[in-house]
């Protein structure tokens, strides 16, 4: 029998609703708090920086939310995304297990970020917003927003983490090509940026700092809003199209995953693929393990503390209940820039606390080894971020072989690495350092967390 290696859905089969895990969570997420009064904040507190429709989604308890037609129209240009069985990788490993991956790199942005960028730009447009500010780490989010904003006629200003701005000039130019303005962060444009530069003129920047800068600019103008590419509930909601499609695709294989894996930055691509499967666990008695893989240099899930903390370095966001390394923690300059975030989204934090998902951490070099093995057998060069999911999948296959069993392993290939070729060059030259944060370093970072009295 001929093996199926590519599982496609027709346009008609594309899901028309996003899935909201809050409806099925046994313990609902704790509320965001006002940093000074420590009272739960209402939706109004977010209105200065986000459009109303996204705020409604942020606090929604509805299980399914309709995807607007205008968003569906753009989704159709690249969705449904393919799900592959990695038969050549399986052969190279000599594994008895089946390895599947959902490929989210086949769109204009080269990553899953387009799924929420399009939705966010659309809702801002509908509410008359003229300009959006945002942050970007490795540049995938900025690229995703640049095109989406241009499509809906909105200006975009991107604060790009300085280390990535230097490491990845191609991403900056792609954003310019789609019509966005890009500034390295920390910058002198904002008070938050200037404060950091005073302390350290050479600061490599962090996502937390870039978020503060973007929020500061947005909060000063009623026609400018802010947009975030991960972490928040509405972002995770938009990404569930990945897992909803994957469920339909797995059904066409007569197989079902024993384990679903995603790399972890703030939680959006992991949750996007995992939450629809988590629903099957919670509601339909399935027993799929859901594994988030994070860098050992930024281990909020595996070593961080579950507590109320800020989402950005200057403390402009509400206090959020999450696993964190501290809002002003600046991670090592690893090449998976999209994973250099100090905290984890509220929804993922709660389901991890409730042991409904698992987390593990990995060193950078092992992930690049996995990415190169994957590229040579499957023909796609993975984003450095996605290489953490690959390393997680390889672990599962090897473990199953040692145990003498065959498992079905599904991971999300969140993006391609065409703009990350210089990171691969460093890997080939043997110049890619491994960095692990020790428990003592984590404890020290956490002991430094300062919240307002």
Ligand X SMILES: *Cc1c(COP(=O)(O)O)cnc(C)c1O
Question: Between 111 and 190, whose beta carbon lies closer to ligand X?
Answer: 111
By CB under 6 A, residue 269 contacts ligand X:
yes
Residue 418 has, within 13 A of its CA and on its CB side, a CA count of 15
Question: Stretches 19-27, 179-187, 266-274, 280-288: which one binds ligand X (CB under 6 A)?
Answer: 266-274
Question: Between 113 and 342, whose beta carbon lies closer to ligand X?
Answer: 113
CB 41 to ligand X: min, Å = 23
Calculate the alpha carbon distances from 372 to 268, 342, 376, 379 in Å: 24, 27, 6, 10
Site string for ligand X, 313-342 (x = CB under 6 A): -------------------------xx---
Binding ligand X (rule: CB under 6 A), the pick from 263, 298, 347, 437 is 263
What is the total residue count of the chain?
Answer: 453
Helix axes 207-219, 191-199, angle to 10 degrees: 150
Question: Stretches 326-334, 357-365, 380-388, 400-408: which one binds ligand X (CB under 6 A)?
Answer: 380-388
Site for ligand X in 217-256 (CB under 6 A): 230
Size of site (CB under 6 A) for ligand X: 20
Cβ-Cβ contacts under 8 Å for 73 (sequence gap 6 or more) = none
Hey, what are 62's tokens? 């509805």
Question: Stretches 40-48, 156-164, 205-213, 383-391: which one binds ligand X (CB under 6 A)?
Answer: 383-391
**Scanning the structure block, which residue is given the tokens 């008609």?**
12
By CB under 6 A, residue 414 contacts ligand X:
yes
Spatial separation of the C-alpha atoms in residues 87 and 351, rounded to whole Å: 32
By CB under 6 A, residue 15 contacts ligand X:
no
Specify the pairing of strand 408-413 against strand 305-310: unpaired
Helix (H, G, I), strand (E, B) or coil at 254: coil
Spatial separation of the C-alpha atoms in residues 271 and 263, rounded to whole Å: 10
Question: Between 279 and 340, whose beta carbon lies closer to ligand X?
Answer: 340
CB 415 to ligand X: min, Å = 3
Binding ligand X (rule: CB under 6 A), the pick from 205, 415, 419, 424 is 415
CB 106 to ligand X: min, Å = 12
Binding ligand X (rule: CB under 6 A), the pick from 385, 395, 396, 420 is 385
By CB under 6 A, residue 120 contacts ligand X:
no
Site for ligand X in 22-51 (CB under 6 A): none
Binding ligand X (rule: CB under 6 A), the pick from 15, 265, 311, 392 is 265
CB 439 to ligand X: min, Å = 23
Specify the pairing of strand 98-103 against strand 408-413: parallel
Spatial separation of the C-alpha atoms in residues 230 and 164, rounded to whole Å: 17
Of 196, 112, 129, 119, give the one whose Cα is nearest residue 162.
196
Cβ-Cβ contacts under 8 Å for 169 (sequence gap 6 or more) = none
Binding ligand X (rule: CB under 6 A), the pick from 154, 259, 383, 423 is 383
Site string for ligand X, 277-316 (x = CB under 6 A): ----------------------------------------
Q: How big is the chain by its Cα radius of gyration, in Å?
A: 20
DSSP state of 255: -
Cβ-Cβ contacts under 8 Å for 428 (sequence gap 6 or more) = none
CB 169 to ligand X: min, Å = 17
DSSP state of 82: P
User: Which residues sit at the interface with ligand X, rule CB under 6 A?
Assistant: 111, 113, 140-141, 230, 263-270, 338-339, 383, 385-386, 414-415
């Amino acid at each position: 029998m001929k093996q199926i290696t590519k599982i496609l859905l027709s346009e008609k089969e594309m899901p028309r609703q996003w899935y909201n895990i809050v409806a099925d969570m046994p313990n609902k997420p704790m509320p965001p708090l006002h940093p000074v009064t420590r009272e739960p904040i209402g939706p109004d507190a977010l209105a200065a920086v986000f459009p109303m429709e996204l705020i409604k989604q942020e606090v929604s308890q509805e299980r399914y939310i309709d995807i607007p037609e205008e968003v569906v129209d753009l989704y159709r240009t690249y969705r449904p995304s393919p799900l592959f069985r990695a038969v050549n990788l399986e052969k190279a490993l000599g594994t008895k297990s089946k390895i599947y991956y959902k490929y989210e790199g086949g769109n204009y942005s080269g990553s899953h970020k387009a799924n929420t960028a399009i939705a966010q730009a659309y809702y801002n447009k509908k509410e008359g917003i003229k300009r959006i500010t945002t942050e970007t780490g490795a540049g995938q989010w900025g690229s995703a927003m640049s095109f989406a904003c241009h499509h809906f006629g909105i200006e975009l200003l991107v604060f790009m983490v300085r280390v990535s701005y230097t490491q990845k000039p191609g991403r900056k130019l792609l954003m310019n090509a789609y019509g966005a303005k890009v500034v390295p962060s920390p910058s002198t444009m904002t008070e938050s940026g200037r404060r950091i530069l005073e302390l350290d003129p050479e600061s490599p920047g962090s996502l937390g700092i870039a978020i503060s800068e973007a929020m500061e600019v947005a909060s000063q103008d009623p026609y400018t809003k802010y947009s975030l590419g991960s972490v928040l509930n509405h972002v995770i909601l938009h990404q569930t199209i990945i897992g909803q499609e994957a469920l339909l695709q797995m059904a066409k294989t007569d197989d079902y995953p024993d384990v679903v894996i995603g790399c972890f930055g703030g939680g959006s691509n992991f949750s996007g693929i995992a939450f629809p499967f988590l629903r099957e666990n919670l509601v339909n008695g399935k027993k799929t393990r859901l594994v988030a893989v994070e860098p050992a240099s930024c281990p909020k899930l595996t070593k961080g503390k579950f507590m109320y903390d800020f989402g950005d370095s200057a403390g402009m966001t509400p206090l959020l209940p999450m696993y964190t390394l501290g809002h002003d923690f600046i991670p090592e300059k690893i090449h998976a820039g999209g994973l250099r975030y100090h905290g984890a989204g509220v929804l993922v934090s709660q389901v991890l606390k409730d042991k409904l998902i698992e987390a593990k951490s990995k060193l950078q070099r092992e992930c690049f080894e996995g990415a190169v093995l994957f590229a040579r057998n499957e023909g796609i060069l993975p984003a450095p971020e996605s290489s953490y999911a690959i390393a997680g999948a390889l672990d599962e296959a090897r473990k199953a072989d040692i145990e003498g069993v065959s498992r079905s392993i599904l991971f999300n290939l969140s993006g391609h690495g065409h703009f990350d070729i210089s990171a691969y060059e460093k890997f080939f030259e043997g110049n890619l350092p491994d960095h692990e944060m020790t428990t003592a370093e984590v404890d020290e970072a956490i002991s430094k967390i300062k919240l307002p009295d």
